[in-house]
Amino acid sequence: MAKQELIVGGGCFWCTEAVFELLKGVSDVESGYANGHVTQPTYRDICTGESGHAEVIKITYDDSIITSDTLLDIFFVVHNPTTLNQQGADRGTQYRSTILYTDEETLEVAQASLESAQKDYNDKIVTTIEPLECYYTAEAYHQDYYKYNQTQGYCLAVIPPKLAKLRAKFGREIA
């Protein structure tokens, strides 16, 4: 197994985590905060939008089963990369669409994926591709949130449509 990591932000991390946890070859999805200016931020810090962090997920995967290209293709399908600092009712820089890279290979794959995804959208994709400056794991109650809170109102409203998009376009990738 060739373990790799990919860090992306596509709005609320509860929503993106729920999608990527279903994929063959993904061994872990961790919710976290990235690229802000507050050390050891809390969810309360993030919610203000003033810490500069994005809500992100760190995907750990086996690249012999699923590639970063496929993960990014899924990323661009299950959220709206054309809305600046917003996903649905969630608004603020903490909900920005972003891909964070730690090496040149990931940067190149991210750029190619964004360019390829643009053909599927009429509006311009506003996803940022940024070097990873810092990453902090979110509090324990955010981990596997959908798995343990499927009847919570927000989860019922937002996550099932994302899962339906995933199944419709990438059913073969689901574990």
**What residues does each domain of the chain span?**
3-173
Residue 119 CA, distance from chain mean position: 20
149 and 155 in contact (C-beta within 8 Å)?
yes
Largest CA distance in the chain: 41
- pLDDT at residue 143 in the model: 96
What was the pLDDT predicted at 162? 87
Q: What is the pTM of this model?
A: 0.94
Cβ neighbours, 10 Å, residue 5: 16
Residues of the chain with pLDDT under 70: 1
Per-residue pLDDT, 95: 96
CA 54-14-81 angle, to 5 degrees, is 55
3-173 carries CATH number 3.40.718.10? no
Catalytic residue among 12, 15, 47, 134: 12
Quick one: pLDDT at residue 1?
A: 56
Tell me, yes or no, if 155 is annotated catalytic. no
